[in-house]
Structure 1
Amino acid sequence: MDSDAIERFEAGRGRLASLAYRLLGSAADAEDAVQDTFLRWQAADRARIEVPEAWLTKVLTRLCVDRLRSAHARHERAAGSWLPEPLLDGDPMLGPAATFEQRESVSLAVLTLMERLSPVERAAYVLREAFSYPHAEIAGILDITESASQQHVHRARTRIAAERRRGEEVDPATARRVVEEFLAAAASGRTERLVALLTSDVTAVSDGAGLARRLLRYTTPERVASHVRAGFRPTPAKRRLAGGSPAFHLARVNGSPAVLAVAGDRVVGTVVFEVADGKVASLCGIAAAGRLARLGEAWRRYGPDAPAVHTW
């Protein structure tokens, strides 16, 4: 392959990766899809490709749709143990974040809700909401009619809105302050304060450190507070599992406030929050090592601030 063709592909690699991440919810799978797209670009008759960016987008999107349709993916995601792979803010794979819709499309909450969409609905929704493709182009990418593209996007928006708290965007400073209070209450064992910091319809989900066969889900402020307090209560078994006594750092993950548990230089867990009306509306706890590898690498490069809670 000539250097111009390689340079042209590399110029669009970041956009392709951020599109694939939104479609698949996994950085590792997104990288595989981008590499597969490169192999097809390498083998293509490039002289006949009039608009390389459109061709690459179409190939990548169809590869992702095929992956979502695969028997293995359906089994894994239907088993109830799937969560999106969290990414530290600043990771280029998070892609465009200039608009509210772009930021929403990469939040863990929306990535999780998109699992309920069909692969084509998900692709149409992401192309429209996050990348502002017109329906005519989406139709060409997915080999459907323009009317079908409009219908897929409308259904996707309706399904996500039905279960998505959508109010005004909370500024990062306010959200951080709420999470700081929450972390202090969790670390001190003040369960009643935790309850006061939760909305009445709060939800929490956890992968159980990757040990549970299904995701753990909690509702009601009292149950969520009890679960959080139990999770933050130190025990010798938890220290062995973490490989030491972690410190807790405040960060932003997928555009949302988060707490990272860090043992040595390893991120061993994260809790990602959604804040609404000055309270915590949802929590997502992830501690499976396979989901934290890329986030941990970014964290080591980042040079973190002092921990909010030093010992556990």
Structure 2
Amino acid sequence: MQSSIHRLVVLALDGVYPFELGIAHRVFDEMPDRYEVVTCTPDGRPVRSSSDFRVAPDHGPEALERADTVVIPPFDLRLLNDGLPATATALARIRPGARLVSLCTGAFLLGAAGLLDGRPATTHWALADTFRRMFPRVTVDPDVLFIDDGDVLTSAGAVAGVDLCLHLVRRDHGSELANSIARRCVIPPWREGGQAQYIEQPVPAAGTSGTAATREWALAHLDRPLTLADLAAHAGMSSRTFARRFTDEAGVSPGRWVVQQRVHQARRLLETTDLSVERIAHDVGFGSAVSLRQHLNALIGVAPLAYRRAFRTTA
């Protein structure tokens, strides 16, 4: 029985961020029959956190030798200037085949160790350019919440670490269990869009905003074609002006936003009704079950009927 339990080891470095340090425990401790989560430091000694307390785990680097997955939360990046000799020695104890997971700027440790060379990766959007300059052999995507590259996974900042951990549960044991964990943690099982929607945007000047009413109108008419010209006409703007203002306010282009809202509504109908996939596709404006299937699969990687089986709300 014990051999079937997946062992996750969280590696805490000096300056570790408390929120991200606890994510793996919060998500995976919900399944003690499937996962064991322990925390260690590179030398077994306490480390300071980014807040006003220290972290004193019960384990040292020897815990890494039995890890199936190693989770690296964000830490004080000034440590990179020292070369992190103790951490490098600790990383060398990780057995081949173990899964590596970085949360937020934890990706900097993987980058410094050369473990992301030739791979896609993400980190907090505010440090993506810095990451790109420091590790030019890594393909950085600052617009996504996380990247799954098989045995190496990276996430964006803060709550994106929760998204990634739920993805790991989904990958290991299916959507139904991941959805159950999400409900117990009172969080969405899947967040639409990437971190581009959270990148700081200039607030539209007073009197220049004006797409909110059109967004509300569009949500009530998703079954219509809703072209850029249609949306701009409703807002009383030229298509070019509307597209620019819409993107400033919503963080995504009008076309992408409409697709996201259609998928969101389709998911709600799949979860809460017995309507056929064809009918749902028509009601949300995709026109056909084939189109709905393509968009749902592109955004969340699952077909409509599979999504319904996993997330269908029961009495």
TM more than 0.5 = no
Q: Of the two, which has the highest radius of gyration?
A: 2
Structure that is richer in helix per residue: 1
Kindly indicate whether structure 1 or structure 2 has the higher relative contact order, using CA contacts under 8 Å at least 6 residues apart.
Answer: 1
